[in-house]
Structures are given as C-alpha cells and as structure tokens.
Amino acid sequence: MTAAAPAACPTFSFELFPPRDAAAEAALVGSALPALVAAGPEFISVTYGASGSTRGVSLDVLRRLLATPVKPMAHLTCVGSSYAEASRLIREFLDAGVTSFLALRGDPPAGVPEEEIFLGDLGSAGELVQLIHRVQKERVPFRQVELPGLPGAKRIASGEKVTIAVAAFPNGHPRSRSRAQDLDTLLAKEAAGANLAITQLFFEADEFHAFVADARAAGVTMRILPGIMPMLSVPRLRRILELTGEREPTALLRALEASDDPFSVGVDHAIRLGRALLDGGAPGLHLYTFNRHEAPLAVLDGAGLLPLTTPTGKTS
C-alpha cells in the first residue's frame, strides 16, 4: 500500500489593477509592489479593462513584475474584440514574456444593452482560453521530442507551458439562471484548456466549500482558489456589492458601521474567512489588494500563510 501524497502547502497570490494616474503609479511602484513581491506570492495578477481600456498600463505593471522573482498573471478580456484583435493582444503579451493569463469574457460597457453593440467574435471566456492556447502554440516554434522507450519515434511538442486561469462564481454569476449553468460554464472552461480557477469574492467560507463540492461532483478537476477582498470601509463594501451583485453580509456591514476602526474590522473578518477556507481544504488564498499591501499582508499573517519575517515588520 502506498502512503497518500502529502497535501500541498497552501499558496497565496495577489490581484493588482493598473494605476489610474501618476500619483497612483508612484504609490504602487514605490510601496505596495515591493512589499507584495517581498512576501513571496505564487503569482500577482493584473486586471484588464474590458474593451482594452487599460492595455498599455496593464502591460507596464506586468513588465515591472517580470523584473522581479514573482510570476505575473495577465487578465485578458475578449468582449468587443474581433478574433484578429484578440489574437494580436495575446501575441503582444506573450512577446513581452507573460506566460500566465486569467481569461475573461468581460462585461459590455455599462448601460448599453447587449443586443445594441458588437460583443466581439468570442462569445465566452472558454473561447478565449482556446485562443490563448492556439496563439501560443503557433508562436512557439515546434520541436521534435524523442519518445522514451521507442527509439526513432518522435512527437511534436511546443516549448513553453502557459497557465490559463478563469473566473468562477461561488454564489453564481449575476446573469446566470442556475447553479447548473455556473457549473457547466466552469466545466466548459476547463475543457477548453483552463488549468486554474479564481473565484469572485464572497463572505462566508461555506459558500466556497459548497461550490467546490458541487464543481467536483460535476467533474471539475482544476485547482479552485478562493478570492478574498478585505472590506475596510462601508463605502467600499457598498460599491463592491453594487459591482458584483453579491448578497449583503449583514453582520459585517453592521460591524463596519458601528466601528471607529473599520480597517481592523475588515482585516479581522478576512482573517477569519481565510482561516475557515484553509481549514476546510482551500488550496490557498487569492487577495484582492486595491493596490495596497497593508491589509492583504495583515490577512495573510493572521491566516498563518506568511513566512517568518514579513514586510509589515511582524514576525510570525
């Protein structure tokens, strides 16, 4: 009888967005980015404005990350893009040295009915996953690989391996009609070649665990990383609820409203959530950072995921 393989160490990773102006860029480059990189995440992802609105700035942040030991992950959206435009974009990111992507459909511009605009040649994130694989294979020169045990036999292999992550929605996508539709969508993304899922934020660990159990039962095998966003103020929480359509977390909202230290309330809530996720078997935590390092690092510290000495100066 062979011993069961030990469970892999939980990972952690971060999400950044492209800075909106010179001051925001200076804060990111001078403070948040070095602190987040020094924590040693598995990867740092950089968001991408739907319809390509942040292409250049997203690429700038990714290039900065490429100069560090941390692997950058580029979010890409396909809504509103022709097939040729999406292929060009993927090639541009691959040429820059990015080999990790979060493939998204993206939302149509706010307030415009979907039937009134060109939504692009690619109808779903799954089609973008397939396109990334195709472009990458075409781009990398194929090479012949000897097959072990079969002298003379060769197969064609391409050199690089790309990671392609996709979005998952534990509480359902706002447009989804049913849990089954969300699970089918995720399954289709894996069938298209995705090898990692990152979830939309949520507020209760059970929501994630139940979703993962359903996804496994439906046949999803890829790693599913829970996305956590520390809620540090009432306005931020309200704005996020508006954007994501998530259910209002009543107890957290009340605690934030009643406190004169909402930062600590938000961090403590995220620490409890992170611990419950890891205790329940989550493979790691993906932190939405809002381009700041203080709260995400405090959450990781509290959840026991940081190495001995952290950029916060604390020792765990």
Among 12, 36, 41, 47, binds ligand FAD (CB under 6 A): 47
- Counting contacts by CB under 6 A, is residue 167 touching ligand FAD? yes
- Counting contacts by CB under 6 A, is residue 182 touching ligand FAD? yes
Of 117, 120, 122, 50, whose CA–CA distance to 80 is shortest?
120
246 is catalytic: no
In whole angstroms, the minimum distance from the beta carbon of 21 to ligand FAD comes to 19
In whole angstroms, the minimum distance from the beta carbon of 100 to ligand FAD comes to 14
Please identify, using beta-carbon distances, which residue of 104 and 228 lies nearer to ligand FAD.
104
- Counting contacts by CB under 6 A, is residue 50 touching ligand FAD? yes
- Counting contacts by CB under 6 A, is residue 262 touching ligand FAD? no
Backbone phi and psi for residue 81, each to the nearest 5 degrees, phi listed first = -100, 145
Q: Given the rule CB under 6 A, which of 33-41, 89-97, 177-185, 203-211 is the region that contacts ligand FAD? A: 177-185
- Counting contacts by CB under 6 A, is residue 20 touching ligand FAD? no
Among 87, 130, 136, 200, binds ligand FAD (CB under 6 A): 200
Among 59, 198, 228, 277, binds ligand FAD (CB under 6 A): 198
Catalytic residue among 15, 25, 190, 246: 15
- Counting contacts by CB under 6 A, is residue 52 touching ligand FAD? no
In the numeric block, which tokens belong to residue 261? 């230290």
Among 55, 71, 139, 173, binds ligand FAD (CB under 6 A): 173
- Counting contacts by CB under 6 A, is residue 114 touching ligand FAD? yes
**Residue numbers annotated as active site:** 15
Give the footprint of ligand FAD on this chain (CB under 6 A): 47-48, 50, 75, 77, 102, 104-107, 114, 124-125, 167, 173, 175-176, 181-182, 185, 198, 200, 227
